[in-house]
Amino acid sequence: MSECYQQNMNLIASRWPELFKRLESIEPVLDSVEVIEGKDSTLLINGIQLTSRHNRQAEATLQVAHIAPNQAVVSMYGCGLGDIQQHLLQRTQLKRLYVHIMNENIFLLVMRLIDQTFWLEDPRVELQFADQQTELKHPLVCLPAELELASEMSHKIKLRLIAEEELKYFNQNIHLHADQFAARLEETRAFWSKDLPVTKLFNSHAKERDVFVIATGPSLEQQFAYLRECQQQPRPPLLIAVDTALKPLLQEGIIPDIVVTVEIRVTTERMLSLPVPSHVQLVYFPLTTPAVLEGWPGPRYVAMNTTPVLNSIRDELNTDNLFTFGSVIHPALDLAVKIGATQVVLFGADFGYANNKTHAVWRDGALGPKFEHGQEWIMNGFGEKIKTLRNLQNYLIGAERLIGQHPHVHFYNSSKAGAVISGTTYYPELVK
């Protein structure tokens, strides 16, 4: 055992005894590790450089440049070789530095090879495993190599870090489609300028009546019989369906009370190929396809969200926001809360390819990439990895964030076949 490893681990044991116990139980396993040299040296792990090999300090300076010099609290995801810690701890106004271990094997390797006592002994440092957190702490700095090399224990935080970067990219590039969005807003003006605001639905729900939010994940196919049975009850639940669930529900003789649509590309074939009863209400956003609005036989309610795309009509349109994070499931869930639900049950909210399918009822690839294109994974309720897509992982994050904002509402998941959704429990009537 090297002297620096002993010194590093002694400090960890004295400051974070529970974390030390967990590290002690780990048998380090890395497929491929080598030291590579340039003007500096670094580690090449599974073909990925942990840091620059030419100027590690310049790289660290660049990685923390977005954090204000007077920032008192900073979070760091990945530990690297200590360069970023050294840079940040030189700031006299820094009061707390949270360092999150993204890969326990890499962390132990660095402890064996390099003296890290300068930051481990600093009283401003708080060392944690990434899986001790359910949400990101801002402002933050993330080491790109350790994001790629993150172990399974930090998978949820890894997905949140990736989503953070993708959201930045989306916001930076949304202006490229400004002309298309402006044209659509004019096409739908005749509808959103006259339709009812979604606020008319807020606080309209009887508290004793459950609300079912129905998405189109594959597990929905196992719930049709239950949903039909529920609709025959003297006090049936209120059914809020996402747009892609409407057709499968109607085919099964299930009539939703409210349908929510948000995507600019939703077609009449997707939503109006079957007769829709005239009492079914539609909640939509101003970018909805005009033909869908024109063909909708029932009441229409218009909602907004916080995207800059809608800024040009925000003052003109007197309605409220529904939460969006890339998927129609988000405004559907937010609507359930805002109409006054105290108990919400999710159906078909799988966020992955449960039962080796992409969607309930729809043919493979009809609503997006085919099953074979699922290159990512998510953990289901049975502790199994199921295929998914990056965007579905992001949608799960959005749903979990929304659920976490409403502790007064009890959210249930109706199936273990799809993703584990933080903040939900399993619905006892369907999951034993």
H or E, element range at 57: helix 56-63
Where does a domain end: 109, 139, 171? 171
In this structure, is residue 178 part of a structural domain? no
pTM of the model: 0.92
Distances (CA, A) of 333 to 44, 98, 279, 431: 44, 33, 21, 21
Q: 212 phi and psi, to 5 degrees?
A: -105, 125
pLDDT > 90? residue 170: no
H or E, element range at 335: helix 329-338
In the numeric block, the tokens 């309930």 are attached to: 360
Q: What is the mean pLDDT of residues 241-254?
A: 97
- pLDDT at position 1, please? 61
Find the domain containing 222 and state its range.
Answer: 184-426
Q: What is the mean pLDDT of residues 370-390?
A: 96
The verdict on 135 and 206 lying in the same domain is no
Q: Which residues contact 114 (CB under 8 A, 6 or more apart)?
A: 4, 81, 82
The verdict on 231 and 156 lying in the same domain is no
The verdict on 193 and 149 lying in the same domain is no
**144 vs 165: CA distance, rounded Å:** 11
Q: What is the mean pLDDT of residues 25-51?
A: 91
The verdict on 155 and 206 lying in the same domain is no
Q: Which residues contact 257 (CB under 8 A, 6 or more apart)?
A: 238, 239, 240, 280, 281
The verdict on 165 and 193 lying in the same domain is no
Where does a domain end: 146, 171, 196? 171
In this structure, is residue 431 part of a structural domain? no
The verdict on 287 and 368 lying in the same domain is yes
- pLDDT at position 172, please? 77
In this structure, is residue 344 part of a structural domain? yes
The verdict on 325 and 402 lying in the same domain is yes
Q: Which residues contact 255 (CB under 8 A, 6 or more apart)?
A: 231, 239, 249, 277, 280
Q: 354 phi and psi, to 5 degrees?
A: -65, 145
The tally of domains found in the chain comes to 2
In this structure, is residue 261 part of a structural domain? yes
Q: Yes or no: say if 72 and 95 are a contact pair by the CB < 8 Å rule.
A: yes
In this structure, is residue 309 part of a structural domain? yes
**51 vs 144: CA distance, rounded Å:** 9
Q: What is the mean pLDDT of residues 42-55?
A: 95
Please return the burial class of 29, using the count of CB atoms within 10 Å of its CB with bins 0-12, 13-18 and 19+: exposed
In this structure, is residue 177 part of a structural domain? no
- pLDDT at position 178, please? 86
- pLDDT at position 177, please? 83
Q: 128 phi and psi, to 5 degrees?
A: -145, 155
The verdict on 214 and 146 lying in the same domain is no
Where does a domain end: 148, 171, 194? 171
The backbone region for 102, taken as left when phi is positive above 0, alpha when psi lies in -120 to 50, beta otherwise, is: alpha
The verdict on 127 and 103 lying in the same domain is yes
In the chain, how long is the greatest CA-to-CA distance? Answer: 77
The verdict on 341 and 240 lying in the same domain is yes
Q: Yes or no: say if 289 and 268 are a contact pair by the CB < 8 Å rule.
A: yes
Q: Yes or no: say if 408 and 392 are a contact pair by the CB < 8 Å rule.
A: no
The verdict on 326 and 389 lying in the same domain is yes
pLDDT > 80? residue 48: yes
More confident residue, 32 or 216: 216
The verdict on 32 and 145 lying in the same domain is yes
Tell me what the pLDDT averaged over the chain comes to.
95
In this structure, is residue 176 part of a structural domain? no
Q: Yes or no: say if 160 and 393 are a contact pair by the CB < 8 Å rule.
A: no
In this structure, is residue 432 part of a structural domain? no
